[in-house]
């Protein structure tokens, strides 16, 4: 894995890189790229809806200083796309807070043991928590400026999907622990590489996994092994066993392979973004694009939870994860919107958009 730029550039060039490059983290880079991509897609969709007359200019109080240092206040008209920096910033702050809070609920025992460390650690971000809280924050933001929330939701839907896909690539590059269950068909050797497991490895696998069940699956001919089995050497979470002769930071590797679920999610999100982008001009009713996002995201996440490591709730006859429960709720909500919300806004002649 490539948890920072020192590892990343070394992996690309094969040349040893200075240690100061380690201050730049690959996960942070991909998260920044995710926000930039989301901002670009959202801006394009806001402009399109403004041109249709669905989004009007809004009044915003602006403070300005003249050359004498005197501050004046004045209400000025802004199209929603001109507020994109504020919108993305509000969503980012709400998203980080929500991601941390929902992760605390999901890992309650660890949170109780060290609440401050848990809240302020670089790891431990739950996407659904970020999505829910960011949506609430943006709802109040749109009320403040009288921006139709339903049209912002539709414009943001493809933006959220592409941001999610890019963010999952960050999880994969850094090896942040967001991987799948064990693929016990492969075990790690001392230098950090993988080899096929044999029957003689059964006791070793049971020991290092603490008896946690896995699904053995050998990559068929023609399929790269890394699509079904990775052991995340140099992962950012320091998880697993030490790599022989490794020096510096991030010298751990998982002793048994796992399914690389970030790759699955990133691929699915990119494909779903492409589908949503192709469909966006064919949607007739407000909130229906957002409903499609809810359905697509819910199905994708529910399926990947089948092979993903996660905390489970004991509800007696079922043991779902937090993400599975939220996925079911979002799926039902999306289907409900598609079936029962049919309020069609009048689309006016295209307006000039600044």
* pLDDT at residue 354, as a whole number: 47
Residue 252, domain extent: 181-259
Pair 290, 163 in one domain: yes
Pair 220, 270 in one domain: no
Rg (CA), the chain: 23
Pair 114, 158 in one domain: yes
| 304 within some domain | yes
Domain end call among 225, 243, 259: 259
Count the domains in the chain.
2
| 16 within some domain | no
Contacts of 87 (CB under 8 A, 6+ apart): 42, 80, 138, 141, 152
- The CA distance from 276 to 16, in Å, is 42
- Three-state DSSP at 157 gives helix
| 93 within some domain | yes
- The CA distance from 257 to 98, in Å, is 31
Pair 101, 238 in one domain: no
Pair 77, 191 in one domain: no
- Three-state DSSP at 241 gives strand
- Which phi and psi angles does 306 have, rounded to 5°? -65, -25
| 14 within some domain | no
Pair 45, 190 in one domain: no
The DSSP result for 59-98, as a single string, is EEEEEEE-TT--EEEEEEEE-GGGGHHHHHHHHHHHHHHH
Taking the CA of residue 77 as centre, how many other CA atoms within 13 Å lie in the half-sphere pointing to its CB?
5
Pair 51, 143 in one domain: yes
Pair 316, 249 in one domain: no
Domain end call among 242, 259, 276: 259
Domain end call among 207, 237, 259: 259
Query: Under the phi-then-psi rule, with left for phi > 0, alpha for psi from -120 to 50, and beta for the rest, what region is 222?
Result: left
Pair 230, 269 in one domain: no
Pair 167, 96 in one domain: yes
- The CA distance from 113 to 94, in Å, is 25
| 353 within some domain | no
| 235 within some domain | yes
Pair 222, 79 in one domain: no
Average pLDDT of adjacent 10-residue blocks, the chain of 354 residues? 92 90 92 94 96 91 78 87 93 87 70 64 69 92 92 96 95 91 96 95 93 91 95 93 90 96 96 97 94 96 88 74 89 95 65 49
| 19 within some domain | no
* pLDDT at residue 349, as a whole number: 46
Pair 33, 79 in one domain: yes
| 5 within some domain | no
- pTM of the complete model: 0.88
The residues that bridge with 188 in the sheet, in sequence order, are 194
């Amino acid at each position: 894995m490539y948890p920072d730029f020192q590892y990343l550039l070394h992996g690309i060039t094969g040349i040893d890189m200075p240690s100061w490059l380690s201050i730049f983290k690959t996960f942070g880079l991909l998260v920044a790229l995710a926000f930039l991509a989301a901002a670009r897609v959202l801006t394009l969709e806001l402009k399109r809806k403004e041109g249709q007359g669905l989004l009007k200019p809004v009044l915003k109080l602006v403070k300005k200083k003249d050359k004498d240092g005197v501050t004046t206040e004045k209400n000025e008209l802004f199209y929603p796309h001109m507020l994109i920096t504020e919108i993305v910033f509000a969503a980012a702050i709400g998203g980080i807070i929500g991601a941390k809070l929902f992760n605390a609920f999901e890992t309650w025992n660890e949170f109780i043991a060290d609440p401050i460390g848990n809240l302020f650690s670089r790891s431990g971000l739950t996407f659904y928590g970020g999505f829910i809280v960011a949506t609430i924050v943006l709802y109040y933001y749109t009320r403040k400026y009288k921006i139709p929330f339903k049209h912002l939701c539709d414009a943001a839907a493809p933006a959220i999907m592409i941001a999610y896909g890019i963010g999952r690539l960050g999880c994969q590059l850094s090896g942040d622990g967001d991987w799948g269950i064990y693929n016990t068909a492969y075990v790690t050797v001392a230098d950090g590489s993988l080899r096929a497991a044999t029957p003689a490895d059964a006791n070793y696998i049971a020991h290092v996994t603490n008896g946690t069940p896995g699904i053995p699956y050998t990559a068929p001919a023609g399929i790269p092994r890394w699509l079904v089995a990775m052991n995340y050497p140099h992962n950012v979470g320091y998880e697993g066993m030490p790599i022989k002769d490794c020096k510096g930071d991030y010298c751990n590797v998982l002793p048994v392979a796992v399914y690389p679920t970030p790759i699955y999610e990133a691929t699915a999100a990119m494909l779903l973004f492409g589908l949503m982008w192709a469909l966006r001009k064919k949607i007739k009713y407000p909130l229906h694009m957002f409903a499609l996002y809810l359905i697509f995201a819910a199905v994708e996440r529910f399926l990947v939870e089948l092979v993903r490591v996660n905390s489970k709730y004991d509800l007696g006859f079922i043991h779902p994860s937090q993400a599975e429960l939220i996925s079911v709720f979002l799926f039902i909500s999306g289907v409900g919107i598609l079936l029962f919300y049919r309020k069609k806004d009048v689309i006016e002649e295209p307006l000039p958009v600044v």
